[in-house]
Structure 1
Amino acid sequence: MHPRPPRRTSHSYGTPRDRLVYDRWGRSGRPVVLLHGLHYDRTMWWPMAAELADDITAVAVDLPGHGESAARDHCDVDDLAHDLAMLVHRLDLRRAPILIAHAEAAYLSERFAARYSTQRVVTVGSAGPAPLDDVPEVYRQFAVPRRDPALATAYRDWLTEALPRSTHLGAEAFPHLRDPAGFAAILHTLR
């Protein structure tokens, strides 16, 4: 019998104007911060995070204007890296996190890693529409982008490719949805 995965809890951080909403699994262990690409939200990480064991604390954050986080007129990557650092500090994770970034979030993860303590940066997927052929039907709901023209304006300064020092896992757009348990197992090897 396998141990039960940590239960997900939802939280928010910040003021109503700059609020970030996030989910957390686990209370101790190596912290992993999960960042979705543009037009997605934190729910894209739910299947994989549910597979994590108790020795990892996962935190999936809605970027501004996505999911339940407050929209911003302009999402400056330096400001958002600072907000993410304050959130990580508030969570009292006690160890430098591994950042897992999907598509455009690689830009934020690299900027964060350049300024704050980070164990590792891992990127998955790429920018733009992605085929869902390899994603099991049950997980496709987590890979549907929500198009919002305001997001294109707010994130106009973001790059679409990660900087070269990150570790890129897989050429598929959604390796964490194609095989959530396998992807979770990979996270255990990154310590």
Structure 2
Amino acid sequence: MHPQPPRRTAHTYRDLLAYDRWGRTGRPVLLLHGLGYDRTMWWPMAAELGDDITAVAVDLPGHGQSPARGRCDVDELAEDLAMLIHGLGLRRAPVLIAHAEAAHVAGRFAAGYSTHRVITVGCDGPGRLDGVPSPYRQFAVRRSLPDAYADWPAGDLPRSNHPDAEDFPHLRDPAGFAALLNTLR
């Protein structure tokens, strides 16, 4: 339950997307938070990843440190993520881990770009925190939703396909979730 010291570096891509990066080699893993959250929700789990993964946790526009946009289109976000992956020189098809509503972006990305795997976790709306250890609950606080997302796709999200699906599996057991990702080579 005590993550390794972070090997995280923080960046901004073309003044569009703020992101954190762990590692320099290995399978790229793109970590997408749900609406109302930010990239910090991935910190406990990403700190547990080994050196065989390059993890990139992105703040969606209007979240965390990414600037807001007038409108956030799912297709545009998928394209922005593809440009980010290309700009970072990540030459292998990424694994996308999408929390809650970010499953829409991950699905569009996978439909248009080479993708190793998409894993969806979480819920639609504020998640249940029972089972999330108290030190990690701070990473699961939902904030206000920017207006730019008002016209996002409505309806059911893809069901979680993590074997131990809960609202925040990456916070309930960061080391276990990291171990799962380390098997996706």
Q: Give me the TM-score of the superposition, normalised by structure 1.
A: 0.89
- Distance (whole Å) between structure 1 residues aligned to residue 120 and residue 67 of structure 2: 24
- Distance (whole Å) between structure 2 residues aligned to residue 176 and residue 20 of structure 1: 22
1:108 aligns to 2:137 (yes or no): no
Moved >4 Å (runs of 4+): none
Superposed displacement of residue 8, structure 1: 0.2
- Distance (whole Å) between structure 1 residues aligned to residue 168 and residue 175 of structure 2: 13
- Distance (whole Å) between structure 1 residues aligned to residue 6 and residue 30 of structure 2: 15
Q: Does structure 2 conserve the Cα–Cα contact (< 8 Å) formed by 1:107 and 1:161?
A: no
- Distance (whole Å) between structure 1 residues aligned to residue 86 and residue 170 of structure 2: 26
Structure 1 partner of 2:62: 65
In 2 relative to 1, CA 6–93 (structure 1 residues): closer, same or farther, beyond 3 Å? farther
Superposed displacement of residue 43, structure 1: 0.1
Deviations 1:113-152 (A, max 9, x none): 000111000000011122211100000000001114xx1x
Count of matched residue positions in the alignment of Structure 1 and Structure 2: 180
Indicate the RMSD between aligned Cα atoms, in angstroms: 1.6
Superposed displacement of residue 162, structure 1: 3.8
> Any stretches of 5+ residues in structure 1 without a counterpart?
none
Paired AA for residue 175 in structure 2 = A
Q: Does structure 2 conserve the Cα–Cα contact (< 8 Å) formed by 1:110 and 1:162?
A: no
Q: Give me the TM-score of the superposition, normalised by structure 2.
A: 0.92
Superposed displacement of residue 163, structure 1: 4.6
Structure 2 partner of 1:10: 10
Q: Does structure 2 conserve the Cα–Cα contact (< 8 Å) formed by 1:31 and 1:93?
A: yes
1:168 aligns to 2:161 (yes or no): yes
Structure 1 partner of 2:50: 53
**Alignment match of 1:93 (pick from 90, 93, 98):** 90
Superposed displacement of residue 106, structure 1: 0.2
- Distance (whole Å) between structure 2 residues aligned to residue 161 and residue 35 of structure 1: 18
> Any stretches of 5+ residues in structure 2 without a counterpart?
none
Q: Does structure 1 conserve the Cα–Cα contact (< 8 Å) formed by 2:74 and 2:152?
A: yes
- Distance (whole Å) between structure 2 residues aligned to residue 49 and residue 5 of structure 1: 11
